Amino acid sequence: MSRKIWLPLGAAVLVLNAVQWVVSEAVAAGAWTNPAYSYATNYISDLGVTDCGTTFQNRTICSPDHVLMNTSFIVQGILFAAGVILLAVPLLTGRVRRVVIALAGAHAVGFLLVGLFHGSADGASYSLGLHVGGASVAILCANTIVIMAGSLESLRLPRAYRVFSIAVGVLGLLSEAGVGVSTSTAGIFERGGVYSWLLWSVVTGVAVLVRRARRPAEARIPENVPA
């Protein structure tokens, strides 16, 4: 019974999470008009800064919808962790399951810090530190989960899905490592580190739901997450 419920629920949660993030980010970016928000040069975190008119790292920041974005940060951490755990519990066992659940929990805590402590130098020094630290942990944990999804041979997943998961997770980590290379492309690299697990969430979630929809009613308990 748990597999019948947990797998499709986890899949739906992952897709919902990706959608809420993309929509919230687009709305918050659209509300930012003076100066115009840039997906290439502005960090995602700029959308959550509460102080309008502050200057940080040569960027003038003013996000009218900072409450929306900070809420989305927190919701993202909770939903991604929940979706991963809902899939991990019926599919994994032993130490691997504990590691994945721990990574998902750390990711949720990281994004809780991101949403509560904004990334601005105008606030208390500890606030920026908690924000950056939380974001770093969350991004590392999420991309590690994505890589693990493709590298665990015990799941007996299709080769295409495994290659996709490993590739997108590795690219996510490499993108995040390149954030500081240039101020003109910082936003692009940061989004590479974040959109990696959001893309994986959509692909994984849709694949699970589609496979279940195609199966006869009497055989809808999948052995593994499909691709």
Give 128-177 pLDDT, tens digit per residue: 889 999 999 999 999 999 999 999 887 778 899 999 999 999 999 999 88
H or E element that contains 61: strand 59-61
Q: What percent of the chain has pLDDT over 90?
A: 65
Are 10 and 81 contacting, i.e. CB atoms less than 8 angstroms apart? Answer: no
Are 113 and 133 contacting, i.e. CB atoms less than 8 angstroms apart? Answer: yes
- With CA atoms as reference, report the closest residue to 44 among 197, 188, 201: 188
- Domain membership of residue 226 (yes or no) is no
Q: What is the DSSP string of 119-166?
A: S-TTS-HHHHHHHHHHHHHHHHHHHHHHHHHHH-GGG---HHHHHHHH
Burial label, 20 (beta-carbon count in 10 A; 0-12, 13-18, 19+): middle
pLDDT at position 124, please? 65
Q: Supply the DSSP symbol for 65.
A: T
Coil, strand, or helix at residue 54? strand
178 band by pLDDT with thresholds 50, 70 and 90? confident
- Please tell me the total count of domains within the chain: 1
pLDDT at position 202, please? 96
* Neighbouring C-alpha atoms within 13 Å toward the C-beta of 34: 3
pTM reported for the whole predicted model: 0.89
Range of the domain at 57: 2-219
Give 114-138 pLDDT, tens digit per residue: 999 988 777 667 888 899 999 999 9
- Domain membership of residue 57 (yes or no) is yes
Are 108 and 116 contacting, i.e. CB atoms less than 8 angstroms apart? Answer: no
- Domain membership of residue 227 (yes or no) is no
- Domain membership of residue 225 (yes or no) is no
- Quote the CA–CA distance of 1 and 41 in Å, as a whole number: 48
Give 79-94 pLDDT, tens digit per residue: 999 999 999 999 999 9
| First-last CA distance in the chain | 22
Give 29-56 pLDDT, tens digit per residue: 999 988 889 999 999 999 999 888 888 7
Q: Which residues pair with 60 in a beta bridge?
A: 55
User: Is the per-residue pLDDT at 26 higher than 80?
Assistant: yes
C-alpha triplet 109, 150, 5: angle, nearest 5°: 65
Calculate the average pLDDT of the chain. Answer: 89
Between 22 and 57, the higher pLDDT residue? 22
220 band by pLDDT with thresholds 50, 70 and 90? very low
Are 179 and 189 contacting, i.e. CB atoms less than 8 angstroms apart? Answer: yes
pLDDT at position 221, please? 46
Q: What is the DSSP string of 160-181?
A: HHHHHHHHHHHHHHHHHHTGGG
